Amino acid sequence: MKLYWFDTVNPRKACAVAKYLQSPVEFVHVDLGRGAHRRPEYLALNPNGKVPTLTDGTRTLWEANAIMCHLAARADSDLWPQDDRQIEVIRWLSWDLAHFYRSGSSLYFEYIIKPRFGLGDTDLAAVKQATKEWQRFAAILDGHLHDRRWLVGNGLTVADFAVASVLPYAERASIPLDEFPNVRRWHDRLNELDAWREPYPALSEAA
């Protein structure tokens, strides 16, 4: 298997799951700054021109959530449960993409991606709106987590990796994580995992 990545937020969760599961993947660095994601050979794998992408034999997958689930299923891991919890995992994956990640990634874009790639000044109106939306959905997550260690059932799942994806950038992206103690506690627990703290391979290890 080959996992194509760059050190941005969506590849982060796929890399974290691969590292956590010790999946037999070859990491292939896609340098977005040099336009590697727009080259014909990469677009042949992922016509969206995004990262991550996973190839596994004749199968090619894009979208980080699908890649996480595939890696977990391939490893016969409970990160992608095969019982009633699976519906709950799907619910949180969907909720995250529609709400929590959407607002958090706006702050990530304004405060981290724009300066990194020279994409202009911070849009303060967009920041204000995204912060308001993130706080709204963080309150829902905080309530859910008040008596839970993990999002679904009693164990770690891909839902935790997905929903927490922007939280490692909270300080740099001015995401008000400290206002939500249960979310902070849950993310602190994730930070106990080496794979979560340091998900990316060293560039010397990547193709």
pLDDT of residue 195: 97
Residue at 203 is within a domain: no
- What's the domain range around 51? 2-79
pLDDT of residue 204: 54
CATH of the domain at 6: 3.40.30.10
Domain endpoint, select from 79, 110, 143: 79
Model pTM score: 0.94
Domain endpoint, select from 79, 94, 115: 79
20 and 39 inside one domain = yes
* Of 121, 132, 205, 204, the residue nearest 175 (C-alpha): 132
Residue at 200 is within a domain: no
pLDDT of residue 202: 82
Helices 101-108 and 124-144: crossing angle in degrees, nearest 10, is: 140
Bridge partners, 2 (sequence order) = 26, 55
Domain endpoint, select from 79, 114, 129: 79
* Number of domains composing the chain: 2
The owner of tokens 């202009």 is 120
pLDDT of residue 7: 95
Residue at 65 is within a domain: yes
Q: How does pLDDT run along the chain (207 residues), one tens digit per residue?
A: 999 999 999 999 999 999 999 999 999 999 999 999 999 999 999 999 999 999 999 999 999 999 999 999 999 999 999 999 999 999 999 999 999 999 999 999 999 999 999 999 999 999 999 999 999 999 999 999 999 999 999 999 999 999 999 999 999 999 999 999 999 999 999 999 999 999 999 875 544
Helices 124-144 and 181-190: crossing angle in degrees, nearest 10, is: 80
CATH of the domain at 156: 1.20.1050.10
CA distance 42 to 53: 9
